[in-house]
């Protein structure tokens, strides 16, 4: 069994904005070039397959898919909304991004790999059933929900339960919407307080509905939150819930935009928080809590952070030495108090469904 594979195709570079846009090919290029320089890419590379249009129907409304596919087939520069562009290469990029997650899920479920990292674009977690999700003003650079399709695909392939952990600074409103009424997919998101950041959803009381009640966990962190409180949230809430849920596989919406260097967001965590998540899930694998973990790139707009964060993930999974290269941050007292109040409230609300100390 391979410890980690990197699922990548140059098709991800073909989604390219007509003029300056922070969600650009340079993001993924910085990751693959860095892994190549370290001599890690060639031996870990797996080529993804391309998803079919039918695969998109796994989570998206047929009408939405058909409208978007018509735009993609046309292959000209256009905008779905003020944030979200389409370019001549977007069709290939978007279908390969979905296909990459499906390829990864296959490798996890067959036991060929313990972990995959799919540095895909366009990102996906803001895309809901019919595009714009919940009350968000736009689709936030997302066209199809790569990770949600991967999770639903895993269920069709025989997985009984899938957990999605979303560490992107923005709430994954699309993913929450898609799985809000099911207990087969547990969605846990850590993100910046929705009152201060797009998409304006992801509050503590949004816990799921019907069969899905108790299977949606939002942890909205105040702006300025540092590694101390973020790592506390991972250890005291995320991991205990995962241990009790016992999913077949864990998929991670890996956005690097919670990092303090990120130009779009206001959190102050470093790669130490990401390291803590990678180590935590690796220990989960070693303890046999789940069979596989798949990391799917979402946001993250500082290319240095994207490159270094990806290196840390790959080296942790390979068991190689690495250095984080940054100093762990500690929240100023006022923010620490605010964050601890948030964690306390999440524990209170989620204690109805999970055993949380
Ligand atoms: Zn984001």
Residue 214, strand partner residues:
none
Do residues 145 and 134 make contact, with C-beta atoms less than 8 angstroms apart? no
For 70-94, how does the pLDDT look when each residue is reduced to its tens digit (9 = 90+)? 999 999 999 999 999 999 999 999 9
Q: What is the pLDDT of residue 237?
A: 98
Task: State in Å: Cα 112 to ligand 1 middle.
Answer: 30
Average pLDDT over residues 136-161: 97
Q: What is the pLDDT of residue 357?
A: 79
- What are the residue numbers of the active site? 126
Q: Find out whether the peptide bond into 152 is cis, omega within 30 degrees of 0.
A: no
Task: State in Å: Cα 139 to ligand 1 middle.
Answer: 11
Confidence band, pLDDT 50/70/90 cuts, at residue 342 = very high
Q: Which two tokens stand for residue 252?
A: 């991670």
For residue 159, is pLDDT > 90? Answer: yes
CA atoms within 13 A on the CB side of 34: 20
The CATH class given to the 5-350 domain equals: alpha beta
Task: State in Å: Cα 175 to ligand 1 middle.
Answer: 13
Q: Which long-range contacts (CB under 8 A, 24 or more apart) does 279-282 make?
A: 279/316, 280/234, 280/235, 280/238, 280/239, 281/165, 281/250, 281/252, 282/115, 282/316, 282/317
Task: State in Å: Cα 288 to ligand 1 middle.
Answer: 30
Task: State in Å: Cα 185 to ligand 1 middle.
Answer: 21
Q: Which two tokens stand for residue 218?
A: 């939002």
Backbone angles phi, psi at 77, to 5 degrees: -70, 130
Confidence band, pLDDT 50/70/90 cuts, at residue 323 = very high
Mean pLDDT of the chain: 97
CB neighbours (10 Å) of residue 287? 9
Task: State in Å: Cα 103 to ligand 1 middle.
Answer: 23
Q: What is the pLDDT of residue 18?
A: 87
Average pLDDT over residues 207-231: 98
Task: Look at the alpha carbons of 196, 199, 200, 205 in this order and tell me if their dihedral is positive or negative.
Answer: negative
Q: What is the pLDDT of residue 137?
A: 94
Task: State in Å: Cα 110 to ligand 1 middle.
Answer: 31
For 1-42, how does the pLDDT look when each residue is reduced to its tens digit (9 = 90+)? 999 999 999 999 999 998 899 999 999 999 999 999 999 999
């Amino acid at each position: 069994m391979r410890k980690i594979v990197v699922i990548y195709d140059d098709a991800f570079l073909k989604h390219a904005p007509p003029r300056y846009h922070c969600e650009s090919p340079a993001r993924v290029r910085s990751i693959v070039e860095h892994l190549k320089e370290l001599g890690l890419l060639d031996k870990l590379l797996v080529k993804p397959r391309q998803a079919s249009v039918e695969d998109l129907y796994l989570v998206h409304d047929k009408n939405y898919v058909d409208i978007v596919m018509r735009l993609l087939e046309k292959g000209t520069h256009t905008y779905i909304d003020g944030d979200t562009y389409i370019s001549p290469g977007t069709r290939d990029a978007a279908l390969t991004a979905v296909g990459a997650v499906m390829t990864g899920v296959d490798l996890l479920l067959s036991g060929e790999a313990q972990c995959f990292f799919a540095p895909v674009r366009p990102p996906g977690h803001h895309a809901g059933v019919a595009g714009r999700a919940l009350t968000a003003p736009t689709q936030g650079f997302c066209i199809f929900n790569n990770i949600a399709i991967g999770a639903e695909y895993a269920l069709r392939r025989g997985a009984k339960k899938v957990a999605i952990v979303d560490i992107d600074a923005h709430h994954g409103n699309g993913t929450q919407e898609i799985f809000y009424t099911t207990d087969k997919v547990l969605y846990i998101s850590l993100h910046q307080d929705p009152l201060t950041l797009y998409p304006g959803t992801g509050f503590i009381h949004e816990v799921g509905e019907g069969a899905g009640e108790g299977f949606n966990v939002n942890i909205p962190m105040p702006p300025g939150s540092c590694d101390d409180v973020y790592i506390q949230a991972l250890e005291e809430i995320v991991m205990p819930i995962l241990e009790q849920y016992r999913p077949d596989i864990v998929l991670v919406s890996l956005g690097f935009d919670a990092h303090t260097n990120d130009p779009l967001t206001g959190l102050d965590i470093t790669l130490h928080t990401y390291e803590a998540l990678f180590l935590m899930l690796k220990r989960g694998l070693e303890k046999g809590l789940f069979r596989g973990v798949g990391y799917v790139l979402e946001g993250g707009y500082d290319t240095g952070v994207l490159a270094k964060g990806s290196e840390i993930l790959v080296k942790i999974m390979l068991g190689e030495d690495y250095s984080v290269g940054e100093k762990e941050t500690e929240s100023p007292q006022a923010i620490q108090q605010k964050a601890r109040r948030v964690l306390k409230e999440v524990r209170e609300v989620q204690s109805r469904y999970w055993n949380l100390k």
